Amino acid sequence: MVKRLNNERGLAIFMLVFLIFITIVIYMIAYTFSLSQELKVSGIELREQQALYVAETGIERAMEFLEADTDWSNNNGTAVISETFGAGSYSVDFSSGTRTSMVVTSAGTVADGQQQVQRRIRQTIRRLPEAFHYALFWAGGDSLDVNRGTVNINGGDVFTADTVGDIGTGTITVAGAGTPSTLNGGLIYTTNAWTAAGTYTTGTLPGDLPAYPTLDTTYYDNEITTAIAQPTGNLSWSGGSQVVSGTTYIDGTININNTTVTGNGALVASGTITIRGTTSVTPSAGGTIRFITAVDIQIQGTPTLATRTVCYARTRTRINAGVTNLRGTFIAVDEFWMDNNTALTGVIYADRVRIFNTSTINGSLVTNRFRGNNFVSNNEVVTINYDASFLEDAAPGLGLDIDGDANQEGRIVKVPGTWQQL
């Protein structure tokens, strides 16, 4: 009897151990299966994330492509970019293009074994208002006469909403060849009469006429208000070197003479800002130096202004005779003057413009009207060489500061709120 009980107890222990073993095996199988599924899902999620990053790279590549193109309106469905990147590839196409806005769709693809994982995103890209994509744009506040002088416009187009004529022997020539010579252009667009003598080709007006950009002065007004609130006093730099860091506010005038100016920031004055002598203004890498005044900016002598210099005057900017080494953005709420034998590279935006004898602009001129309705007079020669590469250096308030960050102004940017995963 005892032997039988021992056998039964042994069998029960064996069965218990066997059941525990089976339970462990089942658990291990379930765990392995679960882990395999998790790893599989994790791998797919990793590939999905990689594909999203690749698609974003396609958007960045598209921005590089668009930066080199002066007219985005001809890219609708035709300009496709397909390239490999890292473990995958992207394919980019364009739609709804205008000269200043483009919808970009990018598909990023990453291999996952025998399968491929793809993610598609869409983003709207924007840049400066269309007016700045003309060599010369004026809204037509008055008519324009070429008065016994010569106007040469190279490498870009011209737009106006008013009449253009000539007095005496005045001529205006609009040519496609320019600097750089790869630029197209050479057309005139007008909603009124163009009868001036010279050489040009009339273009077909676009369906949506470009508008004269409205200058948002909020940023400048706030800076000037802060300057006026400071203790009264003037700032004078003569000789040596000065570094601009942050913003300096002066309730008075600023006079810079024969000084090397570097850095990143702004000089803001309630009075006149004068830049003269051999002054050199060079913003630091990626930085901007801004001159902002409630009245006038005077540029005299032989100063040098480098890329990403901004000059803003509430009333008038005047560049005196012989100044030829200027580069940047020049904004005058009222009037912009260039005297004899002057030259600058960049963007000019002003309500009214007066350009004197033998002056050259490399970039874009946007104005509402010309002083006295005359572009040139007597034997003056004015040349405008259009170059879209200078547009990216434009300043706050000209229509692209869509995210509230003045430092982003002028760049080709992604329009906030337009990113979507398809």
For residue range 54-94, what is the model confidence (pLDDT) as tens digits?
999 999 999 888 877 767 777 766 678 999 988 889 999 99
Strands 136-138 and 374-376 come out as unpaired
In the numeric block, the tokens 């590939």 are attached to 47
Q: Give domain status of residue 251, yes or no.
A: yes
Q: Give domain status of residue 421, yes or no.
A: no
Dump pLDDT digits (tens) for 228-284.
999 999 999 999 999 999 999 999 999 999 999 999 999 999 999 999 999 999 999
97 and 221 share a domain? no
pLDDT of residue 169: 81
Bridge partners (DSSP) of residue 261 are 242, 281
143 and 117 share a domain? no
Q: What angle do CA 354, 357, 358 make, to 5 degrees?
A: 120
CA distance 123 to 103: 6
Tell me which amino acid residue 281 is: V
Q: Give domain status of residue 93, yes or no.
A: yes
Alpha helix stretches (DSSP H) within 68-155: none
136 and 244 share a domain? yes
Under 8 Å CB-to-CB from 58, ≥6 apart: which residues? 81, 83, 85, 90, 91, 92, 106, 107, 108
CA distance 76 to 63: 15
CA distance 243 to 237: 11
9 and 99 share a domain? yes
What's the pTM? 0.75
Q: Quick check: helix, strand or coil at residue 268?
A: strand
CA distance 175 to 198: 11
Q: Quick check: helix, strand or coil at residue 364?
A: strand
296 and 268 share a domain? yes
| CA 51 and chain centroid, separation | 28
Percent over 70 (pLDDT), the chain: 82
Q: Give domain status of residue 419, yes or no.
A: no
Q: Give domain status of residue 62, yes or no.
A: yes
409 and 288 share a domain? yes
**Of 115, 163, 224, which Cα lies nearest the Cα of 369?**
163
Rounded to the nearest 10°, the torsion over CA 83, 86, 88, 90 is: -30
158 and 229 share a domain? yes
38 and 160 share a domain? no
115-124, 334-343, 395-404: segment of lowest average pLDDT: 395-404
Q: What does the block give as tokens for 68? A: 């080199």
Q: How confident is the model over 165-174, as a mean pLDDT?
A: 83
**Of 184, 179, 200, 210, which Cα lies nearest the Cα of 387?**
179
- Is there a contact between 300 and 323 (Cβ–Cβ < 8 Å)? yes
**Averaged pLDDT of the chain:** 83
Give the per-residue SS3 of 323-350.
Answer: CCEEEEEEEEEEEEEECCCCEEEEEEEE
**Highest mean pLDDT pick, 74-78, 136-140, 330-334, 371-375:** 330-334
The domain of 45 spans: 2-127
278 and 369 share a domain? yes
Percent over 90 (pLDDT), the chain: 39
Question: Structurally, how many domains does the chain consist of?
Answer: 2
78 and 193 share a domain? no
Q: Is the dihedral of CA 35, 41, 46, 49 positive or negative?
A: negative
Q: How confident is the model over 20-35, as a mean pLDDT?
A: 68
Residue 214, sorted as left (phi over 0), alpha (psi -120 to 50) or beta, turns out to be beta
Q: Give domain status of residue 418, yes or no.
A: no
Q: What angle do CA 100, 104, 105 make, to 5 degrees?
A: 170
pLDDT of residue 333: 94
pLDDT of residue 370: 87
Choose one of 75, 98, 127: the last residue of a domain: 127
Bridge partners (DSSP) of residue 282 are 262
Under 8 Å CB-to-CB from 93, ≥6 apart: which residues? 77, 79, 80, 81, 104, 105
Q: Give domain status of residue 178, yes or no.
A: yes
Q: What angle do CA 203, 208, 211 make, to 5 degrees?
A: 95
**Highest mean pLDDT pick, 161-170, 274-283, 364-373:** 274-283
Dump pLDDT digits (tens) for 132-142.
888 999 887 67
Q: Give domain status of residue 422, yes or no.
A: no
pLDDT of residue 167: 79
63 and 157 share a domain? no
Choose one of 112, 127, 142: the last residue of a domain: 127
Bridge partners (DSSP) of residue 115 are 112
pLDDT at 38 over 60: no
Choose one of 72, 95, 127: the last residue of a domain: 127
157 and 93 share a domain? no
